[in-house]
Chain A
């Protein structure tokens, strides 16, 4: 039984088949990349997993549990965190409070306890802050801790999104184009971090990416999509040489 599994997942908008009977599995502790030309349905698959869209048909399993009908906020509670292609941070809050929202799935206190700020709330807060501080150290975000998001450059925001996802201590992390908009140096930092996610934190990574050098550097396996269908699946080298993939990118 695979760790995470999508079974003939489909998403149709009227006649348009954004995702068409896609099946794949992610093994525990691997880095799986989804590649494909624009509009191939990569981000749609992510949005299906995090329940922003409701699948037309098909099922999603995580740790042997059917999560297809779970409400969106429960997906995070199960241990699946994600980042967004077009950064979705809380603009008018500090980096620290953004990261603390990432801890939301671990909060156990009741409203009335919080109103009085009982010792249990205070103790919880300290645990949250310690975890957040570990993530800040892991991703070198110390200089930005108390800054507002609205004043930060794009590259830093991208890292903060990753940090926020990590603060929830996920088992599976979905990275939607982690390198888009980053320069060469930042991309190489990102590739080291993604490797570290797997090796040091033991997080399973499912990633959508356009930058083939990053894909080659970090992925264990690659899935190529086009027009919502799976073209090829296998090691990065195999997939890149697959004739259908070459045709999809270069035109036959």
Chain B
């Protein structure tokens, strides 16, 4: 274990408290930089989605994790960013300009959504943000002169300095990675300055925040605006990655996926957004694999246990029918959320911290170290 002796206020302010961080984050950066030359094109594509989802995750963490304002409307912010980019690109606006414009416009709309949110809390705020998402979805489908309605819009490749950047090229991946890294650094800066502390104060006690001079209304609106703007930036990249966008891509299911990103990753640290994004992007191919191969495997097992050919085929078709049920994916997501909230409220990052502590304290680690905290969290939920 390493003990830090703090001799300067700078020790509490700097992002990397000791040299070990430079080594581990340097290694991570090196791996990320050589990834496009090593990984298959399929994995690279997944990695780009991880970057985009993690960016949205960080945005949602600012709003939900640190300011305590729940939102199920982030798919709508993503859509606004994506459509702004597609629309402006059609009129020949260059990439850097429409990238910024999309973020600013989404931030502005986020601030507008923040105003009604001042009077709403908890589940009512969730309902309000869901209705916002439905309104946006409906507008995208009906405002055909701008959004092309349900037929959707095509978006051409990013053009950087006159060179077209294909959505499968390493350059596009580096662009997404840069946006993610800049978002994370900006957010960390915010969290170590007065604004970030005001967010946390509002989350934990609005009364106390107010009596310490925090303008609660202003900071809630700021939080919504920042969160929406970052999601808008992610929306531009999302549109480019898919190269085609239509209203049915930005449904409630996508908003729930973003909530899963932070719930499973862990809501108390930015690491959570990245871990959660990896989880949600990688679970999709896994579920597809199960759907395609599970019926055959189960039929095979049935056959080895002495079921006849007819019976095995019967089992196979039943399982296949079950696996292709509508909404099964949503149900699986729901079960994952419930299990995490019950058994690991601190998410994957919380689990990682426990594993790390186990090795740091080995062989003195006690299982009860986190017991008290767990009981605390559970009793809090019954309030």
> Which A positions have Cβ atoms within 8 angstroms of B?
50, 52, 71-77, 81-82, 84, 88-93, 96-97, 100-105, 107, 109, 111, 114-117, 121-122, 125-126, 129-130, 133, 150-151, 164, 168
Contact = CB atoms under 8 A, between A and B. Distances in A.
B197 A104 contact: yes
12 contacts: A52-B210, A73-B213, A74-B213, A76-B212, A82-B211, A92-B268, A101-B197, A101-B201, A101-B214, A111-B195, A122-B13, A125-B9
B215 A117 contact: no
A90 B198 CA distance: 10
A47 B148 CA distance: 55
Interface in B203-255: 203-205, 207-216, 222, 226
Interface stretch (B84-92, B186-194, B301-309, B336-344): B186-194
Interface hub of B189, B212, B376 (most chain A Cβ within 10 A):
B212
Contacts of B198: 101, 104
Interface of B: 9-10, 12-13, 186, 189-190, 192-198, 200-201, 203-205, 207-216, 222, 226, 268, 372-373, 376
Contacts of B203: 90, 92
Contacts of B197: 93, 97, 100-101, 104
A104 B213 contact: yes
State the 7 A-B residue pairs at the shortest beta-carbon distance, nearest first. A76-B213, A107-B194, A90-B204, A105-B213, A88-B208, A114-B193, A117-B189
B208 A89 contact: yes
Contact of B212 (A96, A102, A117): A102
Given A100-B197, A104-B212, A116-B189, A89 B204 contact: yes
Given A105-B212, A115-B186, A88 B195 contact: no
Nearest to B210: A72
A91 B192 contact: no
A111 B195 CA distance: 7
Contact of B194 (A73, A84, A92, A114): A114
Nearest to B216: A73
Contact of B211 (A81, A109, A130): A81
Contacts of B200: 90, 92-93, 97, 101
Main secondary structure of the interface of A (DSSP, over half): helix
Given A97-B197, A111-B195, A88 B13 contact: no
B378 to A, nearest CB: 13
Contacts of B190: 111, 114-115
Contacts of A97: 197, 200
A90 B209 CA distance: 9
Contacts of A164: 212
Given A104-B214, A105-B212, A52 B193 contact: no
A89 B205 contact: yes
Nearest to B267: A92
Given A84-B207, A90-B201, A114-B190, A129 B12 contact: yes
Nearest to A51: B210
Contact of A101 (B10, B186, B209, B376): B209
Contacts of A126: 9-10, 13
B272 to A, nearest CB: 14
Given A116-B189, A117-B189, 5 more contacts: A76-B213, A90-B200, A93-B197, A122-B13, A129-B12
B204 A125 contact: no
Nearest to A164: B212
Given A125-B13, A150-B376, A77 B189 contact: no
Contacts of B195: 111, 114
A88 B207 contact: yes
Of the candidates B193, B210, B222, B372, the one having the most CB atoms from chain A within 10 angstroms of its own CB is B193
A159 to B, nearest CB: 15
Contacts of B205: 88-91
